Amino acid sequence: MSDDMVVLTVDGLEIKVPRGTKLLQACLDNGIYIPNLCYLEGMERPPSSCRLCLVEIEGRPGPVPSCSLEVENGMVVHTSTDALRRLQQTAFRLLVSTNSGKCSLCMANKRCEMQRIAKFLHMPLRTKRLRHIPKDMPRIIEEHPCIDYESNKCVLCGRCIYVCGRQEDAPFHLDFAGRGFNTVISFFGSELPGVAEYCRDCGACIAACPVGALSYREDRQRFLQQLERNKASRARK
Amino acid sequence: MTDLPATNSDELDPEEQRVLAAIEAELPSMPAGAQNLIPILQRIQQTHGYLPRGGIYLVARHLGLAPSKVFGVATFYNQFRFNPPGRHPIKVCLGTACHVKGGEIILENFARRLGIEEGETTKDREYSLERVACVGCCALAPVVVVGEKIESYVTPSKVEGIITEIEVRREMAAREEERNES
């Protein structure tokens, strides 16, 4: 066995991955799905903020986020114990307790990570156990010249900020603003010249968003018009 | 790295333009490096009473940071404000006692009367509206602090009275000045 490969056991399955791989990535590459929202392939230091990718590792006292953990030789990993599922379901409940909106009226319908995770965890996209507290801010924030931001869909994973930060020649960068419950993605600086042109061609943040909280204004308006047309044609029938 | 957005500068009032010019003049004497971001923001706020939007661009350029990063840090801390303080800052107490006695209603009354939201300043910079957590005289709840003066047992009708009183004083001062000039 070469030195730069590591062998570990995940859910009884032996897998072999390059040294330095993050555990989450290793599992995903080998067909073992672990729910995750804030991780993107290639991240040096994932934020580990969504708390969905927790796994148990034999010999460790508690669950660990698999996205920020590097694989080790002989690791024995469990990804689907009851205790983990309960933790993931609670994390998911907390996320949906502030999110709102109808999936059928959303551009990300059917390709939304939240829908995928809901299905995986056998959870509804609404929670009864926690009080629903929508964010106290405008539903659609049109601060950017060509990108709309829907705060009630955003899960604050930070993927858009990560990919935006990697566009070194961009005239402006996304970042978080505010704190705690009032945290938002801020478009401060998007009024600078050249932003509209640059962002129209880049679109990295929109592609990285797991839930469809970011979209080109043009696309969103076209989508809404299509919805209207569908509604009208259904009414005629 | 960044130029000031052109769209904003047309709408700037002369007061804000003066503040921005002052910040621009001060900045070169302030230390560079991202670790000095918070001390610089604190100094600007201490000198000018608030962080103007344009000032955030200036600081970002000085430190070589993205403006959104500076804005993110500034919005994280409660100590920074983005609107100039009014000549009559109105602080509505929402501590436990005032909250129970209906402080929220008082805040709403001021907001409606002045046409501004909490944390904002009127266009003429006469009034700014803020919420505070306990001013230490809970027996007088609900309490509002206008400038240095504590208003006790505030009711919606008293809100009107407080504003009217300030307006009358202003009017009197203006007439006095007119008389002195003539």
pLDDT at position A235 is: 87
- Which of B65, B75, B77 is the best substitution to test chain A (most A C-beta atoms within 10 A)? B75
Which DSSP letter does residue A129 get? Answer: S
B165 close to B147: Cβ distance less than 8 angstroms: no
Contact at CB, A177 and B56, closer than 8 angstroms: no
pLDDT exceeds 60 at position A107: yes
| B25 belongs to a structural domain | yes
Average pLDDT, chain A: 93
Q: Is A49 on the interface with B (CB under 8 A)?
A: no
| B145 belongs to a structural domain | yes
Chain B residue with CA closest to A181: the answer is B76
Helix orientation angle between B53-63 and B37-48, rounded to the nearest 10 degrees: 150
**Six token digits for residue B153:** 């047992």
CA dist A124 to A121, A210, B113, Å?
9, 18, 44
The whole-angstrom separation of Cα A4 and Cα A143 is: 47
- Pair B92, B177 in one domain: yes
The whole-angstrom separation of Cα B96 and Cα B134 is: 8
A140 close to A150: Cβ distance less than 8 angstroms: yes
- Pair B65, B93 in one domain: no
- Pair B20, B68 in one domain: yes
Buried b (16+ CB within 10 A) or exposed e, A6-26: bebebeeeebebeeebbbbbb
Q: Which of A178, A188, A193 sits opposite B68 (nearest CB)?
A: A188
Contact at CB, A175 and B72, closer than 8 angstroms: yes
- Pair B176, B128 in one domain: yes
Chain B residue numbers with beta carbons less than 8 Å from the beta carbon of A174 are 68
- Pair B122, B52 in one domain: no
- Pair B103, B139 in one domain: yes
Contact at CB, A172 and B66, closer than 8 angstroms: yes
- Pair B109, B172 in one domain: yes
pLDDT at position B106 is: 95
Chain A residue numbers with beta carbons less than 8 Å from the beta carbon of B9 are none
Query: Which pLDDT tens digit goes with each residue over A170-181?
Result: 999 999 999 988
Chain A residue numbers with beta carbons less than 8 Å from the beta carbon of B5 are 191-193
pLDDT at position A126 is: 87
Domain end among B46, B76, B106: B76
- Pair B47, B114 in one domain: no
**Share of residues in chain B with pLDDT > 90 (%):** 72
Chain A residue numbers with beta carbons less than 8 Å from the beta carbon of B6 are 193
Contact at CB, B66 and A175, closer than 8 angstroms: yes
- Pair B158, B93 in one domain: yes
| B129 belongs to a structural domain | yes
The answer to whether the peptide bond before residue A61 is cis (omega within 30 degrees of 0) is no
Average pLDDT over residues A102-123: 93
- Pair B120, B175 in one domain: yes
pLDDT category at B2 given cuts 50, 70, 90 is: very low
**DSSP strand pairing (A184-186 vs A175-177):** antiparallel
CATH of the domain at B170: 3.40.30.10
Q: Which domain holds residue B142?
A: 88-181
Structural domain tally of chain B? 2
pLDDT category at A100 given cuts 50, 70, 90 is: confident
Query: Which pLDDT tens digit goes with each residue over B21-45?
Result: 999 999 999 998 899 999 999 999 9
Q: What structural domains and CATH numbers belong to chain A?
A: 5-80 (3.10.20.740), 91-236 (3.30.70.20)
Which DSSP letter does residue B140 get? Answer: G
- Pair B94, B132 in one domain: yes
pLDDT at position A128 is: 86
| B83 belongs to a structural domain | no
Radius of gyration (Cα) for chain A, nearest Å?
A: 20
Domain end among B17, B51, B76: B76
Chain A residue numbers with beta carbons less than 8 Å from the beta carbon of B71 are 175, 177, 186, 188-189
